[in-house]
Amino acid sequence: MAVRRRQETMEENREKLISAGRKAFGSQGFAASSMDEMTASVGLTRGALYHNFGDKKGLLAAVVARVDGEMVARAQAASADAGDEWEQLLAEGAAYIAMALDPEVRRIVLLDGPAFLGDPSHWPSQNACLEATKQVVGKLIADGVMKPVDIDAAARLLCGAALNAALWVADSDDPKSALPKAVDAFSLMAEGFLVEKR
């Protein structure tokens, strides 16, 4: 068998660590996750962790970037076949709400991320969700569909509202019945930005 290249195995190990870190952070939270256990679960030691990611927070950042990236992909897929751009925005919002029902997303991206890495708008991953929302908001304002508000502010509020709605749904007594209520309230509130009601 051909000798394994160095970079290959390193890439594999990074992958293992990100994946295991995601599981650990997602299930126990960042603070309570032991890096000894986490690395052992994939047959490595903390040596690999500190070599690849610098420290525990470094791994969290990598995991956040990963999950964040997946979210944006899913949101764009969900809004792909929306009628117009306004409906696209609403579809993305609804998609974020649905995604944030995933416990991993909630804990890692919505709770521990901001608490341990600082505000999402300054993440190295640039918080892809925010970026995507800004794009759409910019277009909608240019087209005169949305009122002329600050793009950053509007995007942040819309994105934040969607994720906040998800937190509410997830922690409500009956998530199943809360979900439509949340989507409903979100859509309604978003309409505040519209020039003319629909």
Site residues (vs DNA, CB under 7 A): 3-7, 9-10, 13-14, 33-37, 39, 43-48, 50-52, 55-57
Instruction: State the nearest-atom distance from the C-beta of 41 to DNA, in Å.
Output: 12
Report the chain's terminal Cα–Cα distance, integer Å.
65
Residue 50 vs 116, nearer CB to a copy of itself = 116
DSSP per residue over the chain, as a string? Answer: -PPPPHHHHHHHHHHHHHHHHHHHHHHH-TTT--HHHHHHTTT--HHHHHHHHSSHHHHHHHHHHHHHHHHHHHHHHHTTT-SSHHHHHHHHHHHHHHHTTSHHIIIIIIIIHHHHH--GGGSTT--HHHHHHHHHHHHHHHTTSB----HHHHHHHHHHHHHHHHHHHHHSS-HHHHHHHHHHHHHHHHGGGBSS--
Q: Binding to a copy of itself by residue 87, rule CB under 8 A?
A: no
Q: Binding to a copy of itself by residue 56, rule CB under 8 A?
A: no
Instruction: State the nearest-atom distance from the C-beta of 67 to DNA, in Å.
Output: 19
Instruction: State the nearest-atom distance from the C-beta of 178 to DNA, in Å.
Output: 32
Which member of 49, 91, 128, 165 binds a copy of itself (CB under 8 A)?
A: 165
Dihedral-angle region of residue 119 (phi above 0 means left; psi in -120 to 50 means alpha; beta otherwise): beta
Residue 53 vs 96, nearer CB to DNA = 53
Stretch that binds a copy of itself, among 20-28, 41-49, 88-96, 148-156 (CB under 8 A): 148-156
Which member of 115, 124, 142, 143 binds a copy of itself (CB under 8 A)?
A: 115
- The answer to whether 115 and 109 have CB atoms below 8 angstroms apart is no
CA distance 156 to 10: 37
CB under 5 to 8 A by kind: which of DNA, a copy of itself, none does 165 bind? a copy of itself
Which member of 10, 27, 31, 43 binds a copy of itself (CB under 8 A)?
A: 31
CB under 5 to 8 A by kind: which of a copy of itself, DNA, none does 144 bind? none
Which member of 74, 111, 139, 175 binds a copy of itself (CB under 8 A)?
A: 111
Q: Binding to a copy of itself by residue 198, rule CB under 8 A?
A: no
